[in-house]
Structure 1
Amino acid sequence: MLRKEFRIILLSLLVSFLLTAAKFTAYFLTHSVAILSDALESIINVVAGAFACYSIYLAGKPRDENHPYGHGKVEFFSIGFEGAMIFIAGCLILVKAGQYFTGAHPLEDVMQGVWLIGATMLVNLALGVYLVRVGRSLSSITITGNGQHIMTDVYSSLGLIAALVIIHFTGWTWMDPLVSVIMGALILRKGYQMLRRSISGLMDETDMQVVDKVISILSAHRHETWIDVHNMRVQQYGNNYHIDCHITLPYYMELSQAHEQLKAVEVLVDNGFPGSEVEFFIHADPCIPSCCHYCQLLNCPVRKDAFTGKISWTRENVLPNRKHGE
């Protein structure tokens, strides 16, 4: 049985193929360069959707000896490929629009083009909202990125429809290449954003939203023996997460007790990311006298200093590689 993610992206691919055909039909009816720009971007939807299908298939393969962290990082290649294709499409659109600026060109059957583009916009709106919502629930950057790209297509189609209606009632054909230039610039911007997201993922750039979520989960269920958490690092592989951190525990705690505490941390965070697999590598640090003033284990038999107050866990004290008292 195909994975849910694969079936979703396959649906996106099939819909994008049909909508691309409809947009080229609108272009041949109207000879509008702005509609051609929209159709060229839709070709990118099809190509990127095909690559996304393969990346999701590969990301779903189990870990092996050559890929101990799994194959999930291929999703960053997928979104990078899609971003590069969008960027190229934007450049082609700007070149084509520049050619049309050199001379007037007649438009035909503009309102038929409006109705066709309007129909594709509504279908893309439903598909884009669905992909973004499902992609976030599944923690799939490929599905989410594909949905965001399609939503960009929706906004550009809306602007295109408005321009075509104005052209139809005013005869201002010079607006056609102008709208194409605007669409090309917006597409270039979106392509850059997707390339930036791909590079940051491949370079293991920290996702602060994920860090904040982990800190929030641990803070909400904070145990008195968890004196502090520090040196936290988060990596994402597809919809899986690898988290490293150090936790300071009472130095006299037995190994079996320390293991139970670390296991409790793993279970808490894993439950906080439903639908994802969370792998924890936790290093247990022994407490030192400088920890006593913020240690909440009030009945500690070896306390050196009085408890002066709880230190809230934030990015500022969880990410650095040092105990809070140092």
Structure 2
Amino acid sequence: MNMASVWFTPKRLLWASVAVAVITIALKTLAWWLTGSVGLLSDAMESLVNLASAMFGLLMVTVAEAPPDEDHPYGHHKAEYFSSGFEGILIIVAGLGILWAAGHRVFDPQPIEQVGLGLVLSVGSSALNGLLAWVMFRAAREHRSLALEADARHLVTDVWTSVGVVVGIVLVGVTGWLWLDAVVAMAVALNILKEGAHLVWQSSQGLMDEAVESEVQQQIEQLLEGFVYKIDGRAIIRFDHVVTRKAGQRRFVDMHMHMPSNWSLGHAASLRNRVEKTLMEAVPGLRATIQLLPSDVEAHFDDPKDTP
């Protein structure tokens, strides 16, 4: 792991997200106060959600780092999914609030004042969010952190929100149509709702033991293929019932490994250890569980009582 990934840890970046959220709330609230733009008000409201999301994400990342215990033998890695789901719900609530506020302003448009200074404040805060989101996306891939990815996606949404607001204010200035400010704010709210729904769906899939990424599954299959041994077309060493799942930053794979029944336990265990070591060294965060079976024995899981 390089020095950048060591420095830009999920907790440090989420603390940075909290600090940036406080700064952007102040800048955007000032911009709204100066201009009276409902679009800038919607922008400031979403920044409040950024702050709450970053604080909750920080809490969940702290929980996820806790070691396994008697009640949680597989660890606490799934706590990050709660962060993503919570953030998605907050985004949806903020989007609905913006729709409500903008809907009233469509029929009662208000003039926008001190546009230049308001735009400068909005663009400056968006630049901060954009820079932090870029760093967080890179760190999220490095650390496989859903909490970081969710917060980065939210910050990107905030950037696009600000872009939409700026466009709305410019259009009002060019056309003189005051209702455009509210219409753009409503369009921004719809985009926010879409992003919130995506985060809620993503977290739900993780809580339901979603399989690892397709490219990781292919990598596992290729590594296992290197240990398959055949004689006259008959597999002497083979693998089946390979099942994967994700839990936050951790990945798991379970499988059956078939080998000759006349092998000693020590020989069989030695080969299994080699397979486990190869898999876990090649795939970051992977934990492999391998059950040994003779080559001529099949395991069956389709118990009639478990079939609906």
TM-score, normalised to structure 1, is 0.82
Give the residue type in structure 1 aligned to 2:254: D
User: Cα RMSD between the aligned structures?
Assistant: 2.4
User: 2:280 — aligned with what?
Assistant: 270
- Displacement of 1:4: 3.0
- Displacement of 1:243: 1.7
Is structure 2 residue 242 aligned with structure 1 residue 237? no
Is structure 2 residue 262 aligned with structure 1 residue 252? yes
1:288-319, Cα deviation, whole Å (9 max, x unpaired): 399xxxxxxxxxxxxxxxxxxxxxxxxxxxxx
User: 2:34 — aligned with what?
Assistant: 29
Give matches, 1:1-326, under 5 Å. 4-209=9-214, 210-219=216-225, 221-224=226-229, 227-274=237-284, 276=285, 278-288=286-296
- The 8 Å contact of residues 243 and 281 in structure 1, kept in 2 or not, is answered as yes
How many Å separate the matches in 1 of 2:17 and 2:222? 34
CA 1:15 to 1:3, structure 2 compared with 1: closer, same or farther past 3 Å? closer
- Partner of 2:229, secondary structure, is coil
- Partner of 2:66, secondary structure, is coil
- Partner of 1:280, secondary structure, is strand
- Partner of 1:81, secondary structure, is helix
1:274-299, Cα deviation, whole Å (9 max, x unpaired): 3x3x3221112322399xxxxxxxxx
- Displacement of 1:137: 0.3
CA 1:162 to 1:213, structure 2 compared with 1: closer, same or farther past 3 Å? farther
How many Å separate the matches in 1 of 2:200 and 2:130? 23
How many Å separate the matches in 2 of 1:93 and 1:147? 21
- Displacement of 1:321: 6.9
Name the % identity.
30
CA 1:22 to 1:216, structure 2 compared with 1: closer, same or farther past 3 Å? farther
User: 1:315 — aligned with what?
Assistant: none
- Displacement of 1:223: 4.6
- The 8 Å contact of residues 69 and 237 in structure 1, kept in 2 or not, is answered as no
How many Å separate the matches in 1 of 2:8 and 2:179? 48
How many Å separate the matches in 2 of 1:101 and 1:47? 29
- Displacement of 1:213: 3.7
How many Å separate the matches in 2 of 1:146 and 1:229? 39
- Partner of 1:71, secondary structure, is coil
- The 8 Å contact of residues 231 and 321 in structure 1, kept in 2 or not, is answered as no
CA 1:213 to 1:181, structure 2 compared with 1: closer, same or farther past 3 Å? farther
Give the residue type in structure 2 aligned to 1:75: E
How many Å separate the matches in 2 of 1:273 and 1:157? 39
- The 8 Å contact of residues 239 and 255 in structure 2, kept in 1 or not, is answered as yes
- Displacement of 1:208: 3.9
Instruction: Give the paired residue count.
Output: 290
How many Å separate the matches in 2 of 1:142 and 1:289? 43
- Partner of 1:28, secondary structure, is helix
- The 8 Å contact of residues 9 and 139 in structure 2, kept in 1 or not, is answered as no
1:122-145, Cα deviation, whole Å (9 max, x unpaired): 111110010011011011111111
- Partner of 1:196, secondary structure, is helix
Q: Gaps (5+ residues) in structure 1?
A: 291-319
Q: Gaps (5+ residues) in structure 2?
A: 1-6, 231-235, 303-308
Give the residue type in structure 2 aligned to 1:70: G
1:57-79, Cα deviation, whole Å (9 max, x unpaired): 11111111111111111111111
1:147-206, Cα deviation, whole Å (9 max, x unpaired): 111112112222222222222222222111111111111111111111111111111122
- The 8 Å contact of residues 218 and 268 in structure 1, kept in 2 or not, is answered as no
- The 8 Å contact of residues 247 and 285 in structure 1, kept in 2 or not, is answered as yes
